[in-house]
Chains A and B, each alone.
Chain A
Amino acid sequence: MPANKILIVDDEQVIVRLLSMSLKSDGYETFSAFSGEEALDVFKEHAPDIVVTDIKMPGMDGLELLKKIKELDPEKEVIIVTGHGDIDSTITALQFGASDFINKPVRDEALAIALDRAKTKISIREQLASYTHDLEEKVAEATREIRRKSNFQRLLIHSSHDAIVAFDQDWQIVVYNPEAAKIFEKKPGDVLGKMTIDELYTPELAQYFRKEAENKANDRDMPWQEMTLETRSKKKIPVRYATNVLHEKKEFMGIVNFFQDLTEIKRLEKELIQSERMAAVGQTVSGLAHYVKNILIGLKGGSYVVDVGLQNNNMEKLTTGWLTIKKNIKRVADLTQDMLTYSKERKPEAELCFPNEIVDEVVDLVTDFAASHNIHITKICDPELGEMVLDPRTIHRALLNLVNNAIEACLELEEENKKFVVEISTKKGDDGSAVFAVKDNGIGMDEETRTKLFTPMFSSKGGKGTGLGLLVTKKLVEEHGGTIDIDTSLGYGSVFTMRLPEQPGDSRNGNNKG
């Protein structure tokens, strides 16, 4: 706000009026007083920015007025009008804080200059004041901010879901939040600044963190790790923890431990696994029910045909019916065996055998069936793959499962004139293992089937598949220390590659039966 209000004081009313008129025309707001006493009243009422006063007045003179005004408000500018050569009064006025002097008779220019100077002074003072005020504000704000931050930090530590314990360079505890109190079961009041690491932690744990502090030259924190924390009250708690070793200018400053209580998470994990298992059981049961129903259909149908054969003495019916029954009994037997294999652990029984011969056996088993559906079975056996110590039963069952799937994959692809081929090949792997590949140009798999292959009871074949074949195959192969790889393309076919490492340690005197 520009200084704009001026009080003019003189006992000579003419002078006051003249000055007042001239200042008004310059845009000032003016007030007049004809004595010191009156001036003081006007001053109190209107708080002018600048007072222009004659020095010589009856009653309260200019000097007295100056003194009173400065007492009321030292910021106000007072310009003194003196008679020519009145040095003494001038000096006194200066001592009282007058801001300027003009000589009588007052000339407009001189007054204008004095007023300008006063105004500049006021505005500088105002700027200074606002600047100081700003500065104070800023300092206050910064102080608040710092307080807020440290409060925030305290709150953060206090309300953290992690237990936080920090030690200073003498291993005194300086931070210990409520979560930490929950784990260590000691009140913060009894711990903070009163205990050292050795009184809070077990000796082993204290030792462990002391070592950490020694070993760690920099402040890089270590990744989260898991452990079972033992407290001094012998409670065992599964936790995830992280440690920060603090340094300042290479000087050890302390250490911060963060602990997350995993008890609840572990419990949830267990629950989840349990419920997943239950879901798998549900899926298993319904998949199985379907398959068993199909076997039942076969058995019922077969026994009816046998009944008719017996009644009519019809040998042909008897044979057909009996074959149906036998086939379905075999399906039950296979299913049972698959389930047992899947549910029981089994050590491979390795013996000397010729992998290529096992391929021959499997091919013999499926060729007729495949041929009756226009599927050609070929084998490419690597002569390098000689006698090896492997479990022939693992190879036999795994291969048979893979080949059956390959044949079924061809049956599923409904392409009239396609020449379906299932190719079984062997070779000696670089690491000496036996490698078997079963390749078909059947239906192949989409991404979903591909990912579900090994889930128990997953079958895309409705009641005609158990969804156990690959599961059992994988289990047998893994028990043998081997692997299965799959390469597939929907509509074009698949390759299943099985690698079996030679079994070490087994006697090489087993007979070669397959």
Chain B
Amino acid sequence: MSKKVLVVDDDPDVRSFVVTVLEENRYTPLVACDGVEGLEMIQKEKPDLVILDVLMPRGSGIRLYRQLKTDDALKAVPVIMFTGIALRSFLKSQKALEEFKGEKVPEPDIYLEKPVEPQELVDAIKKKI
């Protein structure tokens, strides 16, 4: 059975791109448009991997990522951060959040900065599942 990959992104262009890449590589794509929908989807569908945008309305990717990594049932799901934001800025905001909330979450498994070639994305997914 093909593996399920969830893409959470508010940009329909990014969603259709990732979905196409997934289909072409025989994964089963699942989509969500924002953080809230994303969490529901993860709980319901138990995807094998999540491709997550950072800047989104309704619960940013950062929040969803933290929810995943602090939930014992979900923390094992590998996450690819897929965003237009430079890793540096992401880690900075992570650090600020850590200090604020007093809890530490591991850095994302893979961090991809948009735009990427389809093959880069596939390679990243293959590393994890």
**Chain A residues packing against B (C-beta within 8 Å):** 290, 293-294, 296-298, 300-302, 304-305, 308, 317, 320-321, 324, 327-328, 411-412, 414, 462-464
Bound-complex Cα distance A375 to B16 (A): 24
A290, B84: Cβ atoms under 8 Å?
Answer: yes
The answer, among A301, A327, A414, A464, for a CB contact under 8 Å with B17, is A301
Q: Residue of A at shortest CB range from B63?
A: A414
Number of A-B residue pairs, CB cutoff 8 Å, is 56
Chain B nearest CB: distance from A462 CB in Å?
5
**B26 contacts the other chain (CB 8 A):** no
**B85 contacts the other chain (CB 8 A):** yes
B84, A302: Cβ atoms under 8 Å?
Answer: no
Within 8 A of A (CB), among B68-95: 84-85
A301, B13: Cβ atoms under 8 Å?
Answer: yes
Q: Residue of A at shortest CB range from B58?
A: A414
Given A302-B16, A414-B57, A463-B84, output 12 extra A-B contacts at Cβ < 8 Å: A297-B14, A298-B11, A298-B13, A298-B14, A300-B17, A304-B17, A304-B21, A308-B24, A320-B16, A324-B13, A414-B58, A464-B55
**B59 contacts the other chain (CB 8 A):** yes
Q: Residue of A at shortest CB range from B36?
A: A416
**B102 contacts the other chain (CB 8 A):** no
The answer to whether A301 and B55 touch (CB under 8 A), given A293-B115, A294-B84, A462-B85, is: no
Chain B nearest CB: distance from A128 CB in Å?
84
- Which residues on A sit within 8 Å (CB–CB) of B20? 304-305, 308, 317, 321
- Which residues on A sit within 8 Å (CB–CB) of B115? 293, 296-297, 300-301
Chain A nearest CB: distance from B122 CB in Å?
12
In this complex, the member of B11, B17, B24, B84 whose beta carbon has the largest number of chain A beta carbons within 10 angstroms is: B17
The answer, among B17, B24, B57, B114, for a CB contact under 8 Å with A302, is B17
A412, B16: Cβ atoms under 8 Å?
Answer: no
A297, B118: Cβ atoms under 8 Å?
Answer: no
Q: List 8 A-B contacts (CB under 8 A).
A: A290-B84, A297-B84, A297-B114, A298-B13, A301-B13, A301-B14, A305-B16, A324-B16
Within 8 A of A (CB), among B8-47: 11-14, 16-18, 20-21, 23-24
A412, B84: Cβ atoms under 8 Å?
Answer: no
Chain B nearest CB: distance from A200 CB in Å?
64
- Which residues on B sit within 8 Å (CB–CB) of A296? 115
Chain A nearest CB: distance from B38 CB in Å?
14
Chain A nearest CB: distance from B89 CB in Å?
10
